[in-house]
Structure formats: structure tokens, C-alpha cells
Structure 1
Amino acid sequence: MINFIKKVIKKPVKKIFEWTEKTSAAAGYKLTPKIFKKDIYIPIEIIAVFIYISLLMTLSFDLDLPLSGVFGLIIFLAIIMFFSVIYIKRTHKEFISDDEGVMLTGFVIIFIVFLSGALKIYGIPVWTVPTSVASILITLLISPVVAGVASLIVSIFLGILFDFSISIFLFSFIGNLVSIYFSARVKNRHDIVKIGYYVILINIIFVGAFSFIEDWESDIILPSVLWSAANGIFSAMLASAFLPYLEKFFSKTTSIRLLELSDFNQPLLKRLKFEAPGSFHHALMVASLAETAAEDIDANPLLCRVGAYYHDIGKIAAPEYFIENQSAVLSKHEDLKSQMSSFIVISHVKEGVRLAREYGLDKIVIDVIQQHHGTSLVHYFYMKAIESGMNDTEKSVYRYPGPRPKTKESAIVMLADSVEAASRTLEEPSYTHLQEMVYKIINNKFIDDQLTEVELTLADLDKIAKKFISVLAGIFHSRVEYPEENKEENK
């Protein structure tokens, strides 16, 4: 969304800058539009204040409080927002730097509270307010931790909005907790409907329990139960309706979307399978290595698997120039200069990014494609150039353009890619040889500064190496040689 806003305002603001430069040239003053050269950063505190003011205005509009009551409400809500921000900063640091994630969370909270106020004005019972929408969407799009904090804020505001009712607060908060629990286990879009069933069940139980605790009149119990059941239906419907648009607008990729991308019937994966079968098989092996390693270092195993499936899709453009797709005895590179061969090999990253955008892949997957070689050296062709007497060869010509991996998932795919390719060159893939090869490759990537921009400790790298060795040992395990049947004995 930030990028969309920048695109809208870029042209007119740039013209203002250009006009300013021309009119102030005589004074030796120069102004350049550097704002468009880097991302806009909006501190979470500013977003929190905006949410706070928006929600406070909603409550002030709906509640008829004296001046002292308004002052007390301001202090109470300020404390809630303050500690919510502190908690998220301490437990979910990556969320703080995610501008679009913070804006998405604020948007969902404000929408639900505004909707609650509107329903109250029109006399709709509170049991109908679909607060679970917030917990479902934020869990799927961001994380259960942030969803828990957002659910607490929404539930507190809902309780205040409906006559400071503790029962309304509990009704909303418990329903949200149930939604978070089941949303974290969603595997496909149909599962969102199942969340609605669980919300219906917990709402009915809660309303039934409170009808006995507060001794409700019999004529309001059944309508309240029905309204609470409708709450679950509306929550599932709204979450299912909003999710695809929020994914696109706020550039978020859910586990549902990743699972959809992992389907081998996806157009790009089908092309890779039929046009570059060797690369497709390599991608499957890399995915197995990456997914297994990710589980041990708190990375996203699903993203590693999907990123690995697509990391070499750029090879579709010229599959015959990559050894895993070559069936001929002579390589296509035999008649090419080392620099040209290096250029063709390096170009598969750029082609992969182009194809990914053309086919509408998510940014998080495109990042893996773009970063899976970092700025590594195309070592084979570089050494070949040196051997042919090109002493003035510069390494930069034989390096991938980057960027280096910026996430754990991209780094894992990079390491898995190199390890899987190198394992194919071992004449005797014994456990010891595999172990030496894996540690050597990871160490070389570390020394080459390919892992400087990602938060991976030496302990993480050791865990990754051990997982790689375990998987490769299973792939290259030795088999028992079966004795041939003696035909003469059977006569």
C-alpha cells in the first residue's frame, strides 16, 4: 500500500521539486527528491496514536459521559495503548518495522470498532458484532501474537462501548481467542468457514452460561443465542471476503496463499516440470533440504519449500545451458567464452524475477528468487577464464548482482541450492564426504559475506548443516546388492 501511495504522489511532487530547483538555481540552492529513493518509515507510535484518537472519537460520540468521565476514559485507553505497544515491541520486533503490517492492524481494529458503534446506533444486539473478524484476519495476515493484542484492544473498546459491560468484554475476547487458535491452523480458504463453526459453538455456550449467571428473562435467551450464532456466520463470511483484498492491498502472503502456490498445477511449476525437468527435480530436492532445516531455526518451513520450488524458474528461458537439463554429450558452453557463459548463467535470476512478476507471484517469493544466489561468484567460469590466460579478469563480471539474502528463508534456500548441486558431483557420497562438503559450502558462503544481512547465528548455521547432512545421507544411502539367481541350478 505504501508503494501504491508513493506511485500516486510521485509525479506531482517530483514536478514541484524540479520547479523549485529551477527557481532557486541562482541562489545556489539545490533540492533533490530523495524521499522516493527509499521506503517510507512510519513509527508504530504514530500509528498507535492515530488508532487511539480514532477509537476515542468513536467512544466519545456514542457515550454520554461527563467531563470527568471523558478525562478518565482518555487516561485508561492511553494506558491500554501504551502497554500494547510496549508488549509488541518486546515480543514481536519484526512487526515494528513492518509499516504495512502496522497499518493493516490499525485499519482492522478501527473498522471493527466503527462497525460496533454503527450497529449500536441502529439497535442491533451486541451479540451480533463480528469481532472475530479482526482476530482471524490479523492471525492469517500477520501473526497470532499481534492478533491477541488487537483482540484485547477490540474487546476492551467493545465492553466500554456497550455500557462498560464485563460480560460483553469476555464474550468478545473469548471468541477472539478461539478464532486465533483455529486460524493459526488454517491450511486452505475453506478452513475459514470451519472457524465460523467453532465461533458459533463458543458463542452459544457463553451466552447460555451468562443467561444463568445473570438470571436473564426467558424471552431474551433464544434471540440472544440466535444472534450469537449469526455472529460466527458473519465473522467467517467477512473474513473470507476481505482476506484476498487485504492480501493484495497490504502486500501480505498468508500460509493459504503459499499452499496454493505449492500446487504443482500452478502454470509456472508446470512449465518448469516440462521445459526444464532437470531443474524441476533439483528444485524438489532443494525444497526438501530447505524445509527440513527451517524447522530447526524458527524460520518459515512453508515459505522455504515454496521459495525453493520457484527459485530456478528463470532457467525456463534457456534450460539447455544448465547441466541438469543437458542430455547431449557436449555442453552448450563448449563453444562460448567464459564471460558469455557466466552471463547466461547469471541471467536466470533476472529471468526468474521477470517470470514471477508476469505470473503474479507474491513479493515474498520473488525475494527468495532474487536473493538465492546473493552476490556469489560463478566460480567454475571464473576459474576457467583465469586458466585461459585472462589475467585481467575482474571478479565483479562473474558475480551475481544480488541482493544478498535478507531473510532466514532466502538464506536457507541459498545454502540448500548450493549443497544439493555440489552433492551431485561427489563420486563417493559417503556420510563423511557429505559432512565435509556441507560444512565447506556453508563456511565458504559465510567467508564470502553472503550471510551478513540476515539474522543467522553460528549455532543456526550448525543446525542447518546437520539437517542437510541428515537429508542427504538418506538420499545417498547405500543399498544391499541382491545376488543374481543361478539359472543352472533351476534346471
Structure 2
Amino acid sequence: MDRLELIENRLHTSLARNGEGANWPRRAIWIVTWASVTGALLGLLAFPFKHNSVAAMGGLTAVIGAAVFLFLRYIARFRSGNLDTTRKRLLYVLLIAAQLFAARLCVGYEPARGWLFIPAPLFALLLTVVYNQRFALDHLAVLFALMAMQGALAAPVGVVTAEATASLLVLFSGSLATILLTRNLRSRVRLVKVGLYAGLVMAGAMVAFELMGFWKSEGGLFSLDMLKWVGIALAHGIAAGVIATSLIPILELAFGIVTEIRLLELEDGNHPLLKLMLERAPGTYMHTQNVARLASAGVEAIGGNALLTRVGTLFHDLGKMVRPEYFTENEPNSKLYHDRLTPQMSAMIILSHVKEGVEIARQHKLPRVLEDFITGHHGTSSVKYFYHKAKMQATNGAHVEESQFRYPGPKPQSREAAILAIADLVEASGRAKLDGPQTPATMQKFVHDAIMTKLSDGQFDECDITMRDLKLAEDAMVKALVSMYHHRIKYPDDPDARIKKLAMMEKEEYRKELAKRKEKILTQ
């Protein structure tokens, strides 16, 4: 899959260089994708073909082809961010194909009640956790429309019975409940609860259809047959939650996908790397906490992934744990260490913390998406302090290459990493320049100057952040910064404090005098 992504990136680069004349390869890729998806769906829905006439197959092909065309256009226009990598697209195709294949097996075996054995709630849960709720909701209706068509083709006489319709709607209600209830996942155990609730919804829907006469159990509502199917619905929901709990870590590892649950686990302060940072580089640890507050506020204001930003911020300075004494936040006298080195050597130590941070992240198998925060928070900016120091120490007008004092990059690749770069600069320079309470106007100018510094240096050239995003992030970070440097009321001194202190001193002198007298009496 890494090879596929490499080929895809090279193709996009080639197309961008060729300009408008390169539209034909894009269209060719689009046509191949459309034809492949249409053919695959046709096989899943209508196989074996002997049960369908040539005219029926022609009509089915036209319907599926038109639906696939519109669906692909919809994804490209409104949901392309959810399928931005080859791995995500591959996983999505596998999930859809697996659900349709399972539907083909279940409905082919039992056209009426076989719907209840299709693991649709499980696939809905996986789509929600791996992508998001909106993405899963968008595809729920499409999937069930395809499955309804599949059921109609599998029916012996080509007629969908009322009981089959009720079974399909029961399954739809459970899948919809799964998507809507998958919120605020603080742990993987929550997935089992979601599955239980989905099972209860399916059981309730089944009872409702029995009362309406669509579901016809042997013996009526309170029969053993009805109890059996209610139990199957509950077991189906619980099984979806249990299987998802075991399956999601495998998908994360196999496809390199970062779910919200994984991010929440990384955010926990008990993570070994965060505990090690607190021990080896306590100043850096507190720096990351402050930056995380600023960056999260800025990303939330522009509608980005605030949780991902916070986690990426917590790990963005891992490399400083290698030589923490060379960074001021860990060692106030770090200047003494650098004074013994040349500016080039000092810059090399400072610059290396990015590369070392990436190596530590990979050694501990952190998600690759966090590397954008590690490399992008400095991008290709320069270590100006040591660059200027090197120019001052240069003899006989020797030229100093600025490239020796620039970070290797790459520049931020996402809006979240760009906001982190701003927040990191604001927090670091704020500790040096801001002292005591500050006015909102001062904070506004301070944050704005930091943004303009990054912008003028071209650090945002490789991400899709807009000027509107920068303005919204600026306002949000100013509010957070004002709260960090808020005014404090100066408490007046206790007027009786001096009297109490004198009384305590007199009492202590009296105690010492008594001790001396007692010692003198005992020695006589």
C-alpha cells in the first residue's frame, strides 16, 4: 500500500506539472474507477446471472452505473477528505464489498428473515469509528438501497414480501442507532454499550412491526418464536460491539488509520513517552501543555480536528528529551553550555531535535500522522539566534550560509500542523517577551506578528490554510493567551502579621532562655 501511495503521489505531481493538458489521465483514472466499481457491484448484486434476462441485466447495469457515477461525484466534491489516502480508500472498498457479500449470502439463503443476520450494524460502527458520523450516515442510505435491490433480485418470484421489508427496516434501525450513538468514545468498552443499545433498538423495532402485522411470528407477540427473534436481535447488536472492539486495533495496525479512540489513549498522561518527558525534560513537558491549549483553541475555531492537534502537540517535542540541558525551558543556564560551542554546533543540536523526535515516535510506533506535527511545527524556519551570532563572530567578512541554521522540514502539510507552528512560536517567544499582566490589544499584536512571521517565511505554502482560517485562529489564541496571562488582584498584607511575628519571636526567645536556666541549674 505504501507503493501505491508513492505511485499516486508521483502521478499527481506529474499531472500538476503538465497543467491543463493533463486532464485526460485524470479522466482515464475516473473512468477506470467507475467501470471497476460498477462491475464489482453488478457481480455482488446479480450473481449468478442465469436468473436474470438480458433486458433485466441491461437495466440493472444502467441503474448501477448511474448510481455509481453520482456517488463518486458526491464523494469527490463533499467527502474527499475522508478518503484522502490510498489505505483509507482501500479499507472503505473492502468494508462495502464485505457487507454486500454478506448480504448476498444471507438473503440468498433466506429472502425473508435472512436480513437479520447481515452484520450491517458492525460495518456501520466501523465506518463511524474509522471515518466519522457524517460519512457513515451518507453511506447508510446508499448501502441499504443496494441491499434492497439485492433482495429483490434474490426473491424467488421477484416480489419483496412485507416480512422481508420489515426485516430490512429492523436492520436499518439498528445500523442507524449504531451511528448516532457512537459519540464521545472515551474507551473501547463504550463500543460494546453501543452494540447493546443497537440490539435494543432492533428488538423494539421488531416488536413494533409484529404489532403492525408486518412481522408474523408463530404464536403471536408473546410466543417463543418471537422471543427467539428478539434474542437474535439483541445478540446481533452485542456481537457487533464485541467484534468491533477486537477488529478496530487490527484495522488501525494494518491500514495505518488513527481513530478517535486511539487518539484518546495517546492523550492520556500515563503514556510512557509523556511520563519520560516529564521526568527528563519537565520544562518541555509544561511547554507542550501550554502549546496544546493554544493550538487546540485555534484549530477548533477553524473547524479542524482539535483532538488530533492536541495529541500531536503533546508529542511534537519528543526529540528534546535526548539533550534536554541545551534547551532553555529545561535548563535556565543552557547559555553556559552553548557558550562552549560554536554557533554552528549549537544550531546542529537544536535542529536535531526534530529528526530525533521522528525516530523516537517511530520506535514507539506512534501513528504516522503525528509526524507532521513533529516536523511541521518548525518547518524550514531558521534558528535566528545562532545564525546572527555566527555572523557576528565571522572574521574577515566570511560568508555564513543561512541554510546551515534552517530546520530540514518539511513545512506543515495540514491546517492543524500550521496552527501548531503558530502556537509554538507564540508560547516560546511569549515566555521571553511577555512579563506580567497584558492587555488584549498587546496580545492581539503579539499573536498577529507571530502569524505574519510564519507567513512571510513561506511556512504555510504546502498546506491549505486560508487567510480567514488564520484570522479565526488568531482571535481564538488571543482569548486563550489572555486567560493564561490574566490579571491577579494583589492581596493586602495582614495588619496583624507583624505583631504576630514579634510575639512568636519573643515566645521563642523566652523558651530558649528557660532552657539555658534549666541547663545551668542541672550543671551546678
Q: Shorter-chain-normalised TM-score: which range?
A: 0.7 to 0.9
Distance, in Å, in 1 between the alignment partners of 2:478 and 2:273 is: 30
* Cα distance in 2 between the residues matched to 1:488 and 1:410: 54
2:327–2:334 contact (8 Å) kept in structure 1? no
| Aligned residues of 2:415 and 2:464 also touching (Cα < 8 A) | yes
Q: 1:366 aligns with which of 368, 371, 374?
A: 371
- In structure 2, stretches of 5+ residues that fail to align are 14-25, 219-224, 504-524
Aligned position for 1:133: 122
> 1:199 — aligned with what?
198
Alpha-carbon separation, structure 2, partners of 1:97 and 1:441: 30
- 1:259 aligned residue: 264
Q: Choose from 386, 389, 397 the match for 2:404.
A: 397
2: CA distance, partners of 1:303 / 1:201: 33
Please tell me whether residue 306 in structure 1 is matched to residue 293 in structure 2: no
Separation in structure 2 between the aligned mates of residue 149 and residue 74 of structure 1, nearest angstrom: 23
CA distance in 2, matches of 1:329, 1:65: 80
Is the contact made by 1:48 and 1:81 (CA closer than 8 Å) also made in structure 2?
yes
Q: Which residue of 1 aligns with 2:521?
A: none
- Does structure 2 conserve the Cα–Cα contact (< 8 Å) formed by 1:434 and 1:472? yes
Whole-Å Cα distance in 2 between the matches of residues 324 and 313 of structure 1? 14
Letter in 1 for 2:384: H
Instruction: Quote the sequence identity (%).
Output: 31
* Matched ranges for 1:89-488 at <5 A: 89-123=76-110, 125-162=114-151, 163=155, 164=160, 165-219=164-218, 220-328=225-333, 330-389=335-394, 391-429=398-436, 430-431=438-439, 432-486=441-495, 487=497
CA distance in 1, matches of 2:36, 2:236: 28
Range moving further from structure 2, 85-94 or 100-109: 85-94
What one-letter code is carried by the residue in structure 1 that aligns with 2:413?
K
Give the C-alpha shift of residue 197 in structure 1: 1.6
- 2:365 counterpart SS class: coil
CA distance in 1: counterparts of 2:137 and 2:146, whole angstroms: 14
| Aligned residue identity for 1:57 | G
By how many angstroms is 1:45 displaced?
Answer: 6.1
- Contact 2:200–2:233 at 8 Å: present in 1 too? no
Aligned counterparts of 2:309 and 2:334: Cα–Cα separation in 1? 34
Conservation of the 8 A alpha-carbon contact between 1:321 and 1:331: no
What displacement does 1:4 show? 6.5
Separation of aligned partners in 1, 2:467 and 2:214: 61
Deviations 1:32-86 (A, max 9, x none): xx95984899957645543432332122226833333222222222232222212
Q: Secondary structure of 1:478's partner?
A: coil
2:344 touches 2:405 (CA, 8 Å); kept in 1?
yes
TM-score calculated relative to the size of structure 1 = 0.87
* CA drift at 1:89: 1.9
* Further displaced range: 256-265 or 118-127: 118-127
Please state if 1:50 is matched with 2:36: yes
Deviations 1:165-192 (A, max 9, x none): 5444433333322222222432321111
- In 2: Cα distance, 1:79 partner to 1:184 partner: 34
User: 2:10 & 2:367 partners in 1: Cα distance?
Assistant: 21
Residue by residue over 1:8-33, the C-alpha shift from the partner in whole angstroms, topping out at 9 and shown as x without a partner, is xxxxxxxxxxxxxxxxxxxxxxxxxx
How many angstroms apart in 1 are the aligned matches of 2:213 and 2:73? 36
SS in 1 for 2:489: coil
Give the superposition deviation at 1:472. Answer: 1.5
Q: How many angstroms apart in 2 are the aligned matches of 1:447 and 1:407?
A: 18
8 A contact 1:258–1:306 mirrored in 2: yes
Summarize the alignment of residues 7-86 of structure 1 with structure 2, pairs less than 5 Å apart.
35=7, 38=10, 46-47=32-33, 49-61=35-47, 64-86=51-73
Structure 1 counterpart SS, 2:493 = coil
* Equivalent position SS for 1:325: coil
Separation in structure 1 between the aligned mates of residue 385 and residue 89 of structure 2, nearest angstrom = 45
Instruction: Report how many residues are paired.
Output: 463
Q: Contact between 2:166 and 2:215, CA under 8 Å: does it hold in 1?
A: no
Deviations 1:125-178 (A, max 9, x none): 321211012221112112323322332232123223333554444333333222
| 1:313-363 deviation per Cα after TM superposition (whole angstroms, max 9, x unaligned) | 000110001010114475311111111111100000000000000000001
Q: Distance in 2 between matches of 1:329 and 1:454?
A: 34
Give the structure with higher Rg (CA): 2
- The answer to whether the Cα contact below 8 Å between 1:308 and 1:413 also exists between their aligned partners in 2 is yes
CA distance in 2, matches of 1:424, 1:249: 42
**d(CA) in 1 for partners of 2:498, 2:195:** 71
Residue type of the alignment partner of 1:127: L
Letter of the 2:180 counterpart: Y
Distance in structure 2 (CA, Å) of the matches to 1:295 and 1:87: 26
State the shift of 1:250 in Å: 1.5
Distance 1:293 1:441 in 2: 14
Cα pair distance change 1:91/1:329, threshold 3 Å:
closer
1:18 maps to none
Alpha-carbon shift at residue 100 of structure 1 (Å): 1.8
CA distance in 1, matches of 2:478, 2:181: 35
Q: Distance in 2 between matches of 1:344 and 1:484?
A: 48
Contact 1:140-1:184 at 8 Å conserved across structures: no
- Unaligned stretches of 5+ in structure 1? 7-33
- Residue 242 of structure 1 and its aligned partner are, at CA, apart by 1.8
AA in 2 matched with 1:474: S
Aligned pair in 2 of structure 1 residues 150, 427: CA closer, same or farther (>3 Å)? Answer: closer
Identify the residue that residue 16 of structure 1 maps to in structure 2: none
Give 3-state SS (helix, strand or coil) of 1:331's partner: helix
For 1:40 and 1:3, the matched residues in 2 are separated by 15
8 A contact 1:197–1:233 mirrored in 2 = yes
Shift of 1:208: 1.8
Corresponding letter in the other structure for 1:472: L
Relative to structure 1, the CA distance from residue 302 to residue 282 in structure 2 (aligned partners, 3 Å threshold; closer, same or farther) is same
RMSD: 2.5
For 2:400, the aligned partner's letter is T
Letter in 1 for 2:419: I
Question: What do residues 197-217 of structure 1 show as CA deviations (whole Å, max 9, x unaligned)?
Answer: 221122112222222334443
CA contact (8 A) 1:44 1:96 kept: no
CA distance in 2, matches of 1:62, 1:184: 40
Give me the whole-angstrom Cα distance separating, in 1, the residues matched to 2:434 and 2:251: 51
